[in-house]
Structures are given as C-alpha cells and as structure tokens.
Amino acid sequence: MKRLVPLLLSALLLQACGIYSFSGTSIQPDVNTISIHYVDYKAMRVNPSLSNDLTEALRNQFRRMTRLEQVDIDGDLELSGEVTGYDVAAAAVTADEVAARNKLTVTVKFQFTNKKYPEDNFDKSFSAYAEYDSTQTLDAVESSLCAEIIDKLVEDIFNASVAQW
C-alpha cells in the first residue's frame, strides 16, 4: 500500500500537467483542435471505399483517444494524407512455384502539422499488410483485409503524430 500511494500521486501529477495522458498521447495543454482532411486515393489499383474508411477510422481514433476538438479547417494540428500504394503479391510460394499465400499491402503518405510546435511536424510514409490464402480471391477477402490493414495504419499514424512513438 505504501508503494501504491506515491505511484498514484505521480500518475495524477503527470495527468494534471496536461502533456501526458493514460491513452499514451503527449499533447501540449495549449493544443485544442485538429483538422483531419479526407485521405486522397492515388494508387494505381482502385479500392473505392478505402479512402473514406481510412479517413473515418482516423477521425474516430482521435475522437476516442484525445481531448481534441475536430474542426474542418485551421486546427492546431492538421493531418492530411493519400493512399499511394495498393498492391497484391505472393507471400509464400510452394515447391511447384505456385503462390500458397498472397499479401495485400497498402501504403500511405501523411503530413502532420503542429502549428504551435512545428518541431513535431512530419511528412512520412506508412505501410501495412495482411495475408490471405491463395485459394481465395481478393474480392472475397478484401473487405476484412482492408479493415485489418486500416487498424494497423491508424495506430501507426496516431502514434507518430500525438503519441510521438
């Protein structure tokens, strides 16, 4: 019990500072708004719902995990990006040189702007993939693969921007 009290007090002090939170974010106290722009789609292979799904997943993550108010334009933080790659490749090949598993990879490029703390700005690419059995068609598994990939991308983008991992 004696060890628990100092630990709880330390946690409360860090929370009170406004810089660190239990959600893993490190947002300065004077940063209050974020603008998350629609994700453009610039990949050669077309997935008509990916941009919208990724945009909404990002907005939901920031809504759930931060105290930031989402605004359409001129947020203290701005996040914009584009899908630059949407590719299928063999992930595992059998002895007969036939693909046993395929891999769907999505690559995105994001710009993060912190108007109050420009040293946090970045322009970087993120990539995530999911594998599926080659006996299945991409059309049959695309929806579930994209959901899995979007979850990974959102976590990476969120961590790079406000968790600064």
For residue 5, pLDDT beyond 90: no
- Return the pLDDT at 17: 43
- Return the pLDDT at 22: 44
* pTM confidence score: 0.83
* Segment 41-54, tens digit of pLDDT: 999 999 999 999 99
Strands (E), 7-98: 33-36, 40-41, 69-70, 77-93
Residue (of 41, 39, 108, 120) closest to 80 by Cα position? 39
pLDDT band at 39 (very low <50, low <70, confident <90, very high): very high
For CA atoms 66, 69, 70, 73, give the dihedral sign: negative
The residue-averaged pLDDT of 32-39 equals 98
Q: Are strands 77-93 and 40-41 parallel, antiparallel or unpaired?
A: parallel
CA distance 156 to 165: 9
- Return the pLDDT at 24: 57
CA distance 139 to 21: 41
- Return the pLDDT at 97: 73
CATH code of the domain made up of 30-163: 3.30.160.150
* Segment 113-139, tens digit of pLDDT: 999 999 999 999 999 999 999 899 999
Contacts of 63 (CB under 8 A, 6+ apart): 70
pLDDT band at 33 (very low <50, low <70, confident <90, very high): very high
